[in-house]
Each structure stands twice: as C-alpha cells, then as structure tokens.
C-alpha cells in the first residue's frame, strides 16, 4: 500500500507566463507522506487528470479570493485538478477496491479522500462511454456547454450561433448541442487550424474558420453576413472584440472563458465597446457552478444525446496524453499552445 | 420672413479628436436658401439646442450605418441635433405662430419642417417646468435614465447602484430616479469635480466620488465595500474597467454611454474581462429608442415625480449656455471637457 505520494505544488503563482523550470518555476514536484485512511475515507490512485483553461485562473498571483468563483490555489499547496481515480483501499461502506471515482484529485499520484467527495462513475462500453468522458462531454465540460448555450443565453432553433474555441472541450460540445439538440439555424465555429476546423464541421458546424489564417477577419465577416444572434465565447480578447461588430441588434453573448487573457497579465483588450451600446448587446458571464440545481436534468439530456448518437464520443473528441507524473505541467500547458482537440486529458503512466 | 438660414455642416467626419478650426475642421458654417413653406409644413426658428455625447457617435468617420442605431450624419449635411423651436410661419392646422415645438432642429437657425415631425411642448410654470426641460429631464434624457435603470437592468429597492457621469444629464436623472422613485438601498455617484459631487449628493446620492482625485480608485473601492448590484455606465473606459471589479456576483451593468471612448479612435480598454465570467456579470447595452413603446408610461411617471417634488428641476439641473450661432460647435464641445452640470443646452442669442 502506498505510504507516500508525489505531488506538484504551486510554488510561484504566476502574473503572466507559466514557467516550467528555473528558480521561479510555477510548480515544483515534492514527495509527501500520506495520512492514514480513516473511517469513511478511501485511498485513491489518480488515473486521469482533467486539463482546463480555468485552472490558470485559480493560480493567478494575488487573485482576490472574493472575486474568484472558488477558493484560489494557495502557494505551496497541491495544484487543483479534477480527475478520475481508482480506489486502492476503502474504509467506507459504499466504496470498494477497484471502483472508479470522479473527484478533486489534484496533481498527486495518491490521495486520501473523504468518501463523500468521491463520485462513482460508471462507464458504459455498449454506448462507447469511457471513464474519461466523465471529465469532459458527460462532466463539467458538457454541463458548461449546455448551461451556457441553452439556459444563460436562451439559444433556440431560430438562432445563428458563433462558437470560439470550437475544437476545445467546451466549444466542441457547444457545436454538437447547438446542432443536434437545439437544432440551430446555422453554426459557425472558430478554431486554430484547418484540421481542427474540418473536425468541428464534422461535429455539426456549418462552417469553421481558422483564426490563425491571414484572412480570418474577412472570413469571419463573410461567414456572419447578416450578423448573428448568439456568440458563445471561450477565448475573450481579439476574437471577442471582433465578434462585438458581428452581433445582431439585441444579440446575446455567453462569456464562458477567456483563454487568450489568462497568461497576458493585465493587457487592455476591447476597442469596440460602442457596439454593446449601439446594438444593445446582452453579455452574460457564466460558471458551471450555477448549473448545479439543474445538473440532473442536463446530464440526463446529454446522456440521452449520446445514446441517440447525436453527441459523438469518438477517439477524436478527446486528446488523451500518456504522461509520466513528472510531465503533468507540460501536458497541461498544451491547452495554451492549441495542442488539444476536444478535451485534453492526462493519462498517468 | 426669413428666406435664408445659417447652418453648421459636418464637413470632415472625425476619427478621433474634433477640430474646430483649420482646413480639416470638423464642421463648417454656411448660409443656405430656405425652401418655401408647403402645406402641412411650418417655418421654425431654433431657440435651444440639445447637446448630447451620443451626437459624437453619429459623425464618426466611416461609421457603418448598419451598426449605428440611427442614420449617421452624412458628410456635407447639417449636424443633427434635437432642439426646441418657435413656429414663425405655419401652413399646418394644428400649429400657430409662436408655438413651441420639440424637433430634430439640427444646427440651423431656421428650418422648414413637416408638421408631423414637430412635437408641441407645454411649459408649466406652476410646477417649474420650462421649455428646455423637454430636451432633458422630461425628454429623451429622462426616458433614457428611467428605461435603463428600471427596465433594462431591473433595479429595485434592495439594490446598491453606482452611476458614472452622475453630474451629467442622464446620470443626474439616474441618481434622482434611483433615490426618489425606486428607493434604492444606496446610491454612489461618480463625477468630475468636488463641486459636481456635492451637487450629485444634493440630488440624492449617498456619496459621490471625484474621478479626477488622486485617491479615486481607493475612494471608489471604499464606497463600494461589499460590492454593488447595479452599475449604470455613462462613460465606458477606465471607470467601467474598474467597476467590473466592484460588481457583486450576478451584478448588472447598464451600458448607456461611453463618453470616454468617443474621441479616442480605436483604443483598447478593458483589462478586467475575467470578472464578467468569474462573477457572472450581466451587461446590457441600451438605446432610448427601445423605450418608445413605453414612452407614455415613463413620461407620466417622470412628470408625476416632478409635480410631487421628487425630481428636482432647478437652475442647477441644466447648464444653459447663451451662444451666438457661430459658437454652436464650441459650446457642444463643453460636453467632452466636463463643462456642464446636468443637461447642457445651447440657447441661441
């Protein structure tokens, strides 16, 4: 039985760029003793880690805890992350060795957890549902996509929708939900390569535009001729600024993420604010925590979508990176380098 | 009877700063023949002109007409402005010489107008209601304030409200409506001088903060301790950016104006966008045109407020500048120099 674990601690909360090495490295690897497993607790081993752009916001230097939606990661404590773990030893009635659970695994190999904090996950091979899907399409990611699109900005079949980060975990679910569950009039994805764009189109986008192309601005303007009702924003920054000029009068923007901001310090970004006024744009920030009261309902809708074949759960909808424990931070960094298609998952080997 | 009129034309639509003189002056003064007064028309003389920050947005160079909420002013046509005029000659049944009317007077001395475009105004000296009030508190300005605060961001008595441009035409009405009609919990104004701030407090703000003070940021943070539910934004830019950090979770922002942007070209401005996401802020742009279906109801509420003594209509709630026709542009420019308290009105002399 493991009595020690390796952990990645947050040692230097970053202001802008993440540093993977050097005296001021953002994270450091340590080995710690594990506490004994008490009653109603379990020792779990981390199998898969969820990689989320939002994690970057949890570690920002001097982040005011009152302004974040959950407690920021404290200096010299383990980096926070959701993960799928296997129960190694259980002192809880409802858990047995070998069970798979979803929990705040953090960047640790092993951890002792209260059973109440462990949510059993049930893969369903008949419908192609694997454990990792509970970190993505059938987890917080899928919930975020559905909640933002359907509840927060009230998207209906008559809407044309633009989605940025469309090849990312949330964006690729937004595209599928918009197309196959809501039945939107037209869906325009924005992603970071031609290959990703073709994949986004295979998920249901009517078109997908490569923001790294020289003709991006012209391409987007052409694709949004007549303007659009809904913009689901996962990236913030320049693409958001441009999209302000492409919204229909009384259009709605779901502000879900701003990955383009997270490593840029405090750069100023929006130049088209007048559009918000002139065209009476409605913008709503969203965090999946607000969806908790509707969690059961949303998860049922998504599971049904999977079983009906409307939401695709193929190899391509996840980027699973087999990583040594030492490589957790560099695998996570792929998020900010456009290295993933669909959910980026670390499989510890 | 006048057969000619002087007019100020928009000759060089500005990109950033307005130029009052030189070869590339924004406006130029010309004299034109007046057309004959036809049936159902009237010749009117402009007495008072409304000065509005929004006028700056109507003349922006290369403004895409599709993206503005009304037709932009075309090069070499008269500068658009609302005004109170006196009927000089009438060929319409419902109008007689000496009647006062509200209309799109533009920067002209005289104009021939269709009677249908002239809205008679009735001053009410008993309640202190003067003709100029129909350009401000009892006109589009008062409507904008009420519509934005009450309808667009659904302000109620339990809300704490911050208002920028609080000594301006719209802001000073927002303060009064919030305090005396809605009965908000707490009202915090932001204005450009200590003198203006004391006036804003006399209107009903619990406190008002001078944004030109060195301690502005600290003062605002202190005044908004515990954060606020509603921000009524008349200025955009840095103050909006700071206010994003002072909103309560699920707070609402009425994006009514952005006077700080109008002359700045295309400068980037917002650095705290993450706050919109983390704290699920709702932002809604607004234009008073959307309030038209409720115009009767809102005007009745405001008139009753005036008659009940809840909305103050004192000398101090307008800045009336007696100007020669030649000085119309420089009087208008006072808006951008913080030269007015309450509505800025040009009285032609």
pLDDT tens string A197-227: 999 999 999 999 999 999 999 999 999 999 9
For B81, the token pair is 């402005």
CB contact under 8 A, B280 and A290: yes
Q: Does the residue A112 lie in any domain?
A: yes
* Residues of chain B contacting residue A238, judged by C-beta atoms under 8 Å apart: none
pLDDT at B313: 81
| A151 close contact with B: CB closer than 8 A | no
pLDDT at B181: 98
A91 and A204 share a domain?
Answer: no
* Residues of chain B contacting residue A276, judged by C-beta atoms under 8 Å apart: 255, 283, 285
Residues B209/B221, Cβ–Cβ less than 8 Å: no
CB contact under 8 A, B278 and A67: yes
CB contact under 8 A, A287 and B278: yes
A159 and A281 share a domain?
Answer: yes
Question: Can you tell me whether residue A146 is helix, strand or coil?
Answer: helix
Q: How sure is the predictor about B325, in pLDDT bands with cuts at 50, 70 and 90?
A: very high
| B20 close contact with A: CB closer than 8 A | no
- Residue range of the domain that includes A123: 4-135+315-348
A197 and A229 share a domain?
Answer: yes
Residues A246/A228, Cβ–Cβ less than 8 Å: yes
| B269 close contact with A: CB closer than 8 A | yes
Q: Is a pLDDT exceeding 80 seen at residue B1?
A: no
| A286 close contact with B: CB closer than 8 A | yes
Residues B175/B201, Cβ–Cβ less than 8 Å: no
pLDDT at A48: 98
* Residues of chain B contacting residue A286, judged by C-beta atoms under 8 Å apart: 277, 280
B128 and B219 share a domain?
Answer: no
Q: At what angle do helices B169-176 and B194-203 cross, to 10 degrees?
A: 40
Q: Does the residue A98 lie in any domain?
A: yes
DSSP state of B129: B
A159 and A252 share a domain?
Answer: yes
| A245 close contact with B: CB closer than 8 A | yes
Q: How many domains does chain A have?
A: 2
> What do you get for the CA distance between the two ends of chain A, in Å?
18
* Residues of chain B contacting residue A67, judged by C-beta atoms under 8 Å apart: 245, 275, 278-279
ipTM of the predicted structure?
0.94
User: Strand pairing partners for A190?
Assistant: A209
Q: Strand B110-114 and strand B41-51: pairing?
A: antiparallel
- Closest in A67, A262, A274 to B245, CB measured: A67
| B47 close contact with A: CB closer than 8 A | no
pLDDT at A266: 75
B220 and B264 share a domain?
Answer: yes
Smallest CA–CA separation between A127 and chain B, in Å? 34
Please compute the mean of the pLDDT values over residues B206-214 and round it to a whole number. Answer: 98
Q: Does the residue A274 lie in any domain?
A: yes
User: Strand pairing partners for B100?
Assistant: B86
CB contact under 8 A, A287 and B269: no
Q: Which residues contact B42 (CB under 8 A, 6 or more apart)?
A: B87, B88, B89, B90, B91, B92, B95, B101, B112, B113, B115, B118
pLDDT tens sequence across B30-85:
999 999 999 999 999 999 999 999 999 999 999 899 999 999 999 999 999 999 99
Q: Does the residue B295 lie in any domain?
A: no
CB contact under 8 A, A286 and B280: yes
Q: DSSP readout, A309-330? A: TSS---GGGEEEEEE-GGGHHH
Mean pLDDT by 10 residues, chain A (349 residues): 92 94 96 97 98 95 92 97 98 96 97 96 90 94 97 98 97 97 98 97 98 98 98 97 98 95 83 96 97 94 92 87 97 93 96
* Residues of chain A contacting residue B68, judged by C-beta atoms under 8 Å apart: 278
A190 and A110 share a domain?
Answer: no
Please compute the mean of the pLDDT values over residues B207-230 and round it to a whole number. Answer: 98
Residues B332/B346, Cβ–Cβ less than 8 Å: yes
CA distance B332 to B327: 9
**What's the CATH number where A162 sits?**
3.40.50.720
- Closest in B269, B281, B282 to A270, CB measured: B269
Q: How sure is the predictor about B116, in pLDDT bands with cuts at 50, 70 and 90?
A: very high
A249 and A342 share a domain?
Answer: no
- Closest in B269, B277, B279 to A256, CB measured: B277
| B284 close contact with A: CB closer than 8 A | yes
* Residues of chain B contacting residue A277, judged by C-beta atoms under 8 Å apart: 255-258, 285-287
Residues A171/A240, Cβ–Cβ less than 8 Å: no
Counting every residue, how long is chain A?
Answer: 349
Using CA atoms of B166, B170, B172, B176 in order, give the dihedral in degrees to the nearest 10.
-120
- Closest in B255, B269, B280 to A287, CB measured: B280
CA atoms lying within 13 Å on the CB side of residue B252 = 19
- Closest in A69, A255, A277 to B285, CB measured: A277
Q: Does the residue A303 lie in any domain?
A: no
In total, the C-beta contacts within 8 angstroms joining chain A to chain B are: 115
Give the burial class of B8: count Cβ atoms within 10 A of its Cβ; 0-12 exposed, 13-18 middle, 19 or more buried.
buried
Residues B67/A275, Cβ–Cβ less than 8 Å: yes
CB contact under 8 A, B67 and A257: no
Q: Is a pLDDT exceeding 90 seen at residue B312?
A: no
Q: Which of A27, A39, A32 is nearest to A3 (CA)?
A: A32
Q: Is a pLDDT exceeding 80 seen at residue B266?
A: no
CB contact under 8 A, A285 and B286: no
CA distance B329 to A181: 56
* Residues of chain A contacting residue B67, judged by C-beta atoms under 8 Å apart: 245, 275, 278-279
B111 and B160 share a domain?
Answer: no
pLDDT tens sequence across B144-175:
999 999 999 999 999 999 999 999 999 999 99
* Residues of chain B contacting residue A284, judged by C-beta atoms under 8 Å apart: 280-283
Smallest CA–CA separation between A256 and chain B, in Å? 6
B149 and B266 share a domain?
Answer: yes
* Residues of chain A contacting residue B271, judged by C-beta atoms under 8 Å apart: 266-269
Q: What are the backbone dihedrals phi and psi of residue B263, each rounded to the nearest 5 degrees, phi first?
A: -105, 20
Residue by residue, what is the 3-state secondary structure of A17-73?
CCCCCCCCCCEEEEEEECCCCCCCEEEEEEEEEEECCHHHHHCCCCCCHHHCCCCCC
Q: Does the residue A305 lie in any domain?
A: no
CB contact under 8 A, B271 and A273: no
A269 and A151 share a domain?
Answer: yes
Counting every residue, how long is chain B?
Answer: 349
| A300 close contact with B: CB closer than 8 A | no
| A268 close contact with B: CB closer than 8 A | yes
CB contact under 8 A, A277 and B283: no
CB contact under 8 A, A282 and B287: no
B160 and B201 share a domain?
Answer: yes
Among chain A residues, the shortest Cα distance to B255 is held by A277
Burial A262-292 (b: 16+ CB within 10 A, else e): bbbeeebbbbbbbbbbbbbbbbbbbbbebbe
| B248 close contact with A: CB closer than 8 A | no
| B274 close contact with A: CB closer than 8 A | yes
Percent with pLDDT over 70 in chain B = 100
CB contact under 8 A, A268 and B268: yes
| Sequence-ordered strand ranges (E) for A136-227 | 160-163, 186-191, 207-210
| B31 close contact with A: CB closer than 8 A | no
Q: Does the residue A84 lie in any domain?
A: yes
Residue B122's CB is within 10 A of a number of other CB atoms, namely 9
**What's the CATH number where A91 sits?**
3.90.180.10
Q: Which of B79, B138, B135 is nearest to B111 (CA)?
A: B79
Q: Does the residue A25 lie in any domain?
A: yes
pLDDT at B28: 97
């Amino acid at each position: 039985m493991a009595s020690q674990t390796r952990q990645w601690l947050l040692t230097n909360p970053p202001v802008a760029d993440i540093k993977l090495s050097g005296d001021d490295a953002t994270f450091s690897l340590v080995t710690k003793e594990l506490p004994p497993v008490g009653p109603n607790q379990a020792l779990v081993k981390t199998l898969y880690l969820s990689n989320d752009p939002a994690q970057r916001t949890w570690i920002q230097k001097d982040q005011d805890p009152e302004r974040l939606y959950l407690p920021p990661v404290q200096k010299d404590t383990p980096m926070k992350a959701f993960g799928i773990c296997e129960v190694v030893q259980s002192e809880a009635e409802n858990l047995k060795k070998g069970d798979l659970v979803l929990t705040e695994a953090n960047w640790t190999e092993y951890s002792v957890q209260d059973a109440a904090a462990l949510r059993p996950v049930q893969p369903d091979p008949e419908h192609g549902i694997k454990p990792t899907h509970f970190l993505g399409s059938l987890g917080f990611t899928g919930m975020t996509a559905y909640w933002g699109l359907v509840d927060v900005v009230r998207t209906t079949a008559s809407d044309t929708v633009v989605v940025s980060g469309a090849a990312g975990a949330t964006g690729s679910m937004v595209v599928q939900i918009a197309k196959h569950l809501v039945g939107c009039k037209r869906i325009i994805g924005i992603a970071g390569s031609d290959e990703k764009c073709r994949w986004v189109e295979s998920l249901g986008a009517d078109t997908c535009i490569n923001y790294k192309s020289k003709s991006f601005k012209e391409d987007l303007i052409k694709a949004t001729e007549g303007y659009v009702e809904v913009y689901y924003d996962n990236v913030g920054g320049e693409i958001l600024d441009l999209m302000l000029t492409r919204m229909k009068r009384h259009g709605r923007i779901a502000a879900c993420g701003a990955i383009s901001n997270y490593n840029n310090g405090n750069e100023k970004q929006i130049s088209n604010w007048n559009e918000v006024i002139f065209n009476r744009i409605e913008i709503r920030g969203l965090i999946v925590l607000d969806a908790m009261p509707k969690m059961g309902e949303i998860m049922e809708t998504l599971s049904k979508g999977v079983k009906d074949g409307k939401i695709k759960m193929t190899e391509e909808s996840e980027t699973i990176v087999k990583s040594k424990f030492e490589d957790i931070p560099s695998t996570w960094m792929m998020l900010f380098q456009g290295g993933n298609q669909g959910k980026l998952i670390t499989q510890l080997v």
